[in-house]
A and B are shown apart, each in its own frame.
Chain A
Amino acid sequence: MYDVIIIGGGPAGLASGLACWKAGLKKVLIVERDQELGGILNQCVHSGFGVGIFKEELTGPEFAQKFIDELRETDVEVMLNSMVLSLNEDKSVEVIGPDGYKKLQAKAVILAMGCRERTRGAISIPGSRPAGVFTAGLAQKYLNMDGYLVGKRVVILGSGDIGLIMARRMTLEGAKVLACVELMPYSGGLPRNIQQCLKDFDIPLYLNHTVVDIKGKDRVEQVVVAEVDKNRRPIEGTEIVYDCDTLLLSVGLLPENELTKQANIKLDPRTKGAIVFENMETSVEGIFACGNVLHVHDLADNVAKEAEKAGEAAAEYIRGNSRSDKVVEIHNGNGVSYTVPQHIHYPATNNIDVLFRVNKVFGKSVIEVVDAKENLIAKFKREFIVPGEMEKIVLPKVLLDKAEGDITIMAKEVV
C-alpha cells in the first residue's frame, strides 16, 4: 500500500513527489511512462526555466535535473517505462512496465499526466495528406532528442509557445521559417517568445489568418494561407501560397485526462482538466491534480508551485485533516475564460491563489472579485493582460471571509 501514487514524472510529478516527501510521507511512488524522468522538459533545450523558483535561467533539462537530484536524496520510488492503464475512484491503479503488469493501491493519488498537442485532425485542416505536417512538439522532439531536422522551408500554424520556440530553433538549425500564422486576433504565446523567437529573426506573424489547403502528394509542397473574417471563416481572394516542405502545428494543448475520466472525476469543460479546490483536490476525495493535466500552463515554474501545493495537500489528506464541507464556487465573469481553482473550501484556511486566463487582450485594467450579493471583495490593477499569459491573484483570507455565497472574477478595461 502506497501513501501516494503520482501519475507522471514531469515537472508536476517531480515537484509534487518531493513535496509529499518533505511533508513526511514515506511510501511515495512516481510512475513515468518514458525511460527517464523530466517529461516534456527533456526536449525543451531553450532557457527561461527556473526564474520563478530557482532565481536563475535554466534550460528544461537543467530545471528537471534540479528536482531529480533532490529526489535522489529521498526514498521516493520511481517506476520508469511504466504506464498507468487504469485509475479507480478507490485510488487503485493498474500499471504496466518492464517488471510486469501490476495492480497497486494508494491512499492518495496525484494526477500529473501533462498534456498533448492538438493535431491536424483536431482542427480538420483540409488538403492532401503528405508527410511533412508535424505538431511543433514532435518536430522539437526529433530535433532536440535525436538531432533530426524535419524540414528546410517551414510554415507554422498557431502561435502557441512551442511553435514560437520551434520557429527560432529551426531557424538556428538552418531552416527557413516563412511565416507564423495565427487564427485569432492575438497570439496564444508569451509576449517574450513573440519578440525573441519571431521578431528577432524577422519571421512574419499573420494574425487573423489560417491554413486553408495543404498541397503535395508524398511530402508537403505548398501550404495555402488565407485571412479569416470575424467568424474565423477564410476570406476568399486573400490566399497566400507558400512553397515549403513542412507545416508545423502549434494549435493548442489538451490536458491528458483519460484516466481522470475513468475515475469519475468531474472535469471543467473550459480547462479540460479536473475541477479542483484551492488545495488541488478533485471532486474525488484523495485524488489531486496539478500541472498541465489540470490546465495548460505557460511556465514550468508555475507548474512546480502548483504541484507542491498538491503534494502538501495529499499529505494533509492522508493525515486525516479534512477541510470544511462548505463550498464556494468561483464563477468566470466578463473577460475571464477560466479559473483554477474553481471551488474553495469555506471558510478558507489561508490566502487563496487564483490562476486564470482572459479571453481577449486587455490594456490597462482592473480585475474585480465580487460575491453573490455583488459586494466588491477585492480589486487588482493590471497594465496589460493577454490570453497567452496566465494571470494570478491572491485572495486574502480576511477578505474572503466576508464574502457571501459564490464569488465571481471579472476583468474590466480602464478607459
Chain B
Amino acid sequence: MYDVIIIGGGIIGCAIAYYLSFYNLKVVLLEKENDVSCGTTKANSAIIHAGYDPKPNTLMAKHNVLGSKLTKELCEKLDIPYKQCGALVVGFTEDDLNTINQLYQRGLDNGVEGLEVLSREEVLKLEPNLSDEVKGALWAKTSAIVSPWEYALALAEVAVKNGVELKLNSEVKSIKKDEFFTVETTSEKYNGKYIINAAGVHSDDIHELIGKKEFTIKPSRGEYYLLDKSEGSRCSRTIFQCPNENGKGVLVSPTVHGNLIVGPNAESSEKDDVSTVASSLDFVKNNALRSIPSIDFRENIRNFSGVRARSDRNDFIVEESKSVENFFNLAGIQSPGLSAAPSLALEAVNWLKGKEELVKKENAVDERKRLKLKDLSDENKNELIQKNPAYGKIVCRCESITEGEILQCFDTVIPPVSIDGVKRRCNTGMGRCQGGFCGERITNILIDKLGIKPQEVLQDKEGSNIINSLAKEEH
C-alpha cells in the first residue's frame, strides 16, 4: 500500500517525487515511457522565465516567480546545467514599446526583480547582432536557461535515492477507488491513498479514468531548430519578441550546452504528435531572422517539436479533483511550467499536509553530482585518467564525451536503457554529427551493459529499435 501514487515522470512528477522523498511516505512514480523526462519536459525552449509575462494574480504568475527562484537553488544544489543569462523582449514598433512597458509594469506587479526598460542604443550595445529594426527592449535579468531533461532526471535520482519507487514502462490503464485507489498499469496494480496527476498532455485522460470531466487538454505543438555551437554566440541572452495571442512568440536563445535554440511556433496538434512540418519550420525561421538577421540556418543540427499541455482554463490547474477526493491535479502545465515546477510541486505537498501530518525522513540525501571531464582541471583530468583510462577515450567527438563518462551513467540509480537515454545523461550525440560517429559505439556499450541482443537496442522509446537483424542471418 502506497501513501502517494504520482502519475507522470516529467518535470512536474519528478519535482513532486523529489519533495515528497524527504518525508516518511511510501511513494511510487508511474511513468509510461522507459525513462523520465520523455514528453514535454525534454522538448521545449529550456527557459526559466523571469515571470513578467503571466497576468498578475494568476497561478501562472505566482508559481512562475516563486518557481524560478527555487529552480536556481535546486540547480546549484543538484549540479544541473543552469545559467542566469537574462532575457530581452525586443520591440520593433511603437505598439511593441507599449507592450514592453506593460510587461515591465506587470513584472513589477508579479514581484519580479531585475527588470529594466532599455533604449534602442542600450539594447544594441548588449546584443550587437540584433536587428537594426529594434526600437527598445525589456531586460529581465533573472531569466535563465537550463537543461530540462537533466533537471527532471536529477530530481528523480534524488527521489529514488530517498526511497521513492520509480516504475518505468508503466502506463496507467485504469483507476478504481474503494477505501483507497487501485491503479492498474500495463504490467501491475498499485494501491494507494492519494493520487497526484502530473500526466502532462494526458492529464485529462488520467483524471477521467475515475473522475468527471473538469478540464480539457488542448495540445499545442511548438517546433524548433537547434543550431550548431558555431551559432551559439549569436546572442548572449534569450531574445523574445513581444508576446501575442499565440504565446511568447519565437525566441532565439543560447542553450546551456552552447548551442543556439530557435522556436517555437504554436499549432494545434495531437497529444503525442511531435512531427515537424516544413511550413511551420519556415515560419519559425523567418520570425527568428526578424530578431537576429545573421543566424545561419545552414548550421542547423536538429529540428524537433514538443507539445504544450495547454488546457481550456488559460491558467495552471493546481487543485484537488472536484469529483474524486484525494486525487490532486497538476494539469494544464504549459509555459511557464518548467519555471514553475518546484513551486507547483510544493503546492501538491502542501495539499497533502492538509490531509495528514507529514513527518520528515531522517538521513534523506539532498545532493547529486555528475562528473564532467570537461570541467576538471588538467591535473584532475590526468589523475582520473591514470585511475581509469576509459576517461581518456573520447567516444562522442563533437561533445568530447569519454567512455568513462558514458559507463558511469549506468551506475546511477536511474540507468539509461536507450541511445537517447545515454544522450540525456551525458550529452553524447547532441553535437553536430548527431550520433553519426558515436551511435555505433553507444549501441555496443548498451548491448554490453544491458546484456541485450543488438536487435533489442533502442534509439529512444519502446519500439524504436535500431538494428533489424544480423547480417547473413536470414535471407
Which A positions have Cβ atoms within 8 angstroms of B? 33, 81-83, 85, 96-101, 116-117, 119-122, 124, 126-131, 135, 137-138, 141-143, 145-152, 173-174, 212, 217-219, 245-246, 261
The 8 Å CB contact of B392, one of A98, A122, A128, A135, is A98
* A218 neighbours in B (Cβ, 8 Å): 460-464
The answer on a CB contact under 8 Å between A96 and B381 is yes
B302 to chain A: which residues have CB within 8 Å? 119-121
Contact A142 B440 (CB under 8 A): yes
Of all chain B residues, which has the CB nearest A102?
B382
Query: From residue 64 to 78 of chain B, which have CB atoms closer than 8 A to chain A?
Result: none
Main secondary structure, interface of A, reads: mixed
CB contact between B444 and one of A96, A146, A151, A219 (< 8 Å): that residue:
A146
Q: Do A143 and B385 contact each other (CB < 8 Å), given the known contacts A101-B378, A131-B460, A131-B465? A: no
Contacts of A128 in B (CB 8 A): 273-275
Whether A129 contacts B304 by the Cβ 8 Å rule is: yes
How far, in whole Å, are A238 and B332 apart by their CA atoms in the complex?
Answer: 41
- Given A33-B394, A138-B440: A120 touches B434 (CB 8 Å cut-off): yes
Residues A131 and B466 in contact, CB atoms below 8 Å apart: yes
Measured CB to CB, the nearest residue on chain A to B43 is: A129
Q: How far is the CB of A1 from chain B (nearest CB, A)?
A: 19
The chain A residue with its CB closest to the CB of B276 is A126
B residues near A145, Cβ cutoff 8 Å: 440
Question: Once the chains bind, are B434 and A100 in contact (CB under 8 Å)?
Answer: no
Q: B35-72, CB under 8 A of A: which get 1 and which 0?
A: 00000000000000000000000000000000000000
Given A98-B389, A122-B300, answer yes or no on A117-B275 (Cβ-Cβ < 8 Å): no
Q: Does B436 contact A119, Cβ atoms closer than 8 Å?
A: yes
A residues in contact with B392, CB < 8 Å: 81-82, 96-101
Across the interface, which residues of A come within 8 angstroms of B472, CB to CB?
Answer: 147, 173
CB distance from B234 to the nearest CB of A (A): 16
Nearest opposing residue in chain B for A212, CB measure: B278
Can you list the 9 inter-chain pairs with the closest CB atoms, starting with the nearest?
A: A218-B463, A131-B459, A98-B389, A131-B464, A121-B302, A174-B475, A98-B392, A218-B464, A101-B381
Within the complex, what minimum Cβ distance (angstroms) separates A122 from chain B?
6
Does the CB pair A149–B467 fall under 8 Å? yes
Assess the B226–A126 pair: CB atoms within 8 A.
no
User: What are 13 A-B contacts defined by CB distance under 8 Å?
Assistant: A98-B389, A100-B385, A126-B275, A127-B275, A128-B275, A138-B437, A138-B439, A146-B443, A147-B470, A147-B471, A148-B443, A149-B468, A261-B230
Q: Given the complex of chains A and B, what is the CA–CA distance between A121 and B466 in angstroms?
A: 18
A81, A122, A142, A149: the one contacting B298 at CB < 8 Å is: A122
The residues of B with any CB-CB pair to A shorter than 8 Å are 225-226, 230, 272-278, 281, 297-298, 300-304, 378, 381-382, 385-386, 389-390, 392-394, 397, 400, 402, 432-437, 439-440, 443-444, 454, 458-475
B378, closest chain A residue (CB): A101
For A121, the chain B residues whose CB sits under 8 A away are: 226, 300-303, 434
Question: Could you say which residues of chain B place their CB within 8 Å of the CB of A119?
Answer: 301-302, 432-434, 436
Bound-state Cα–Cα, A120 to B435, Å: 11
A151 touches B468 (CB 8 A): yes
Q: How far is the CA of A142 from the CA of B297 in the complex (A)?
A: 30
Nearest CB of chain A from residue B431's CB, rounded to whole Å: 10
Q: Provide the residues of chain A in CB contact with B440, threshold 8 Å.
A: 138, 141-142, 145-146
Residues from chain A with a CB closer than 8 A to the CB of B458 are 131
Residue from the list A99, A129, A143, A212 in contact with B471, Cβ < 8 A:
A143
A261 surroundings in chain B (CB, below 8 A): 230
Q: How far is the CB of A254 from chain B (nearest CB, A)?
A: 8
State A238–B6 Cα separation when bound (angstroms): 49
| B463 lies within 8 A of A135 (CB) | no
CA distance A98 to B437 in the complex (A): 19
B437 contacts A100, C-beta separation under 8 Å: no
Chain A residues with Cβ below 8 Å from B275 are 126-129
| Chain B: CB-nearest residue to A140 | B440
Q: Please tell me if the beta carbons of B464 and A148 are within 8 angstroms of each other in the complex.
A: no
Contact partners of B443 in chain A: CB under 8 A? 142, 146, 148
Residues of A close to B463: CB separation below 8 A: 217-219
A148 and B441 CA atoms in complex are apart in Å by 13
CB neighbours of B467 from chain A (8 A): 142, 148-150
Chain A nearest CB, measured from B429 CB (Å): 10
Given contacts A126-B276, A219-B464, 17 further A-B contacts (CB under 8 A): A33-B397, A81-B393, A98-B389, A98-B392, A120-B434, A121-B303, A124-B278, A124-B303, A126-B278, A128-B273, A129-B274, A131-B459, A138-B437, A146-B444, A173-B471, A217-B272, A246-B468
**When chains A and B are docked, how far (Å) is the Cα of A63 from the Cα of B1?**
66
**Distance between Cα atoms of A127 and B467 in the complex (Å):** 21
Chain B residues, Cβ within 8 Å of A245? 468
A121 to B259, CA, bound (A): 14
Of all chain B residues, the one with the shortest Cβ separation from A43 is B440
CB within 8 A of A148: which of B225, B303, B470, B474?
Answer: B470
- Tell me the smallest distance from the CB of B42 to a CB of chain A, in Å: 12
Q: Given A121-B301, A150-B466, is A135 in contact with B460 using a C-beta cutoff of 8 Å?
A: no
Structural contact, B385 and A99, CB atoms closer than 8 A: yes
Most buried by A among B458, B467, B472: B467
* B230 contact set on A, CB distance < 8 A: 261
Nearest CB in chain A to that of B460: its residue: A131
Q: Which of A82, A100, A120, A148 is within 8 Å of B381, CB to CB?
A: A100
Question: Which residues from chain B contact A217 at a C-beta distance below 8 Å?
Answer: 272, 463
Complex Cα distance A131/B467, Å? 10
Q: How far is the CA of A283 from the CA of B472 in the complex (A)?
A: 50
Bound-complex Cα distance A141 to B471 (A): 12
Docked-complex contact B400 and A85, CB < 8 angstroms: yes
Chain A residues, CB < 8 A from B389: 98-99
Task: Determine the residue in chain A with the shortest Cβ distance to B392.
Answer: A98
- Pair A116/B432 contact, Cβ less than 8 Å: yes
For residue A129, which residues in chain B have a CB less than 8 angstroms away from its CB? 274-276, 304
Distance in angstroms from B464 CB to nearest chain A CB is 4
How far does the Cβ of A371 sit from chain B's closest Cβ, in whole Å?
34
B193 CB → nearest A CB, Å: 35
What CA separation (Å) do A352 and B392 show in the bound complex?
A: 42
Contact of A83 with B468 in the complex, beta carbons under 8 Å: no
State whether B465 touches A116 (Cβ < 8 A): no
Chain B hits for A98, CB < 8 A: 385, 389-390, 392-393
- Name the residue among B298, B303, B436, B468 with the largest chain A CB count within 10 angstroms: B468
Q: How far is the CA of A318 from the CA of B170 in the complex (A)?
A: 65
Residues of B near A143 (CB, < 8 A) are 471
- The distance in angstroms between the C-alpha atoms of A147 and B465, with both chains bound, is 16
Is B471 a contact partner of A149 (Cβ separation < 8 A)? yes
A124 touches B461 (CB 8 A): no
Q: Which of A97, A128, A142, A150 has the most CB of B within 10 A?
A: A142
Contact B471 A138 (CB under 8 A): no
CA separation between A126 and B265, bound complex, in Å? 15
Distance in Å from the Cβ of B14 to the closest Cβ of chain A? 23
Q: How far is the CA of A127 from the CA of B432 in the complex (A)?
A: 20
Residues of A within 8 A of B303 (CB): 121, 124, 126
- A128–B221 Cα distance when bound, in Å, is 13
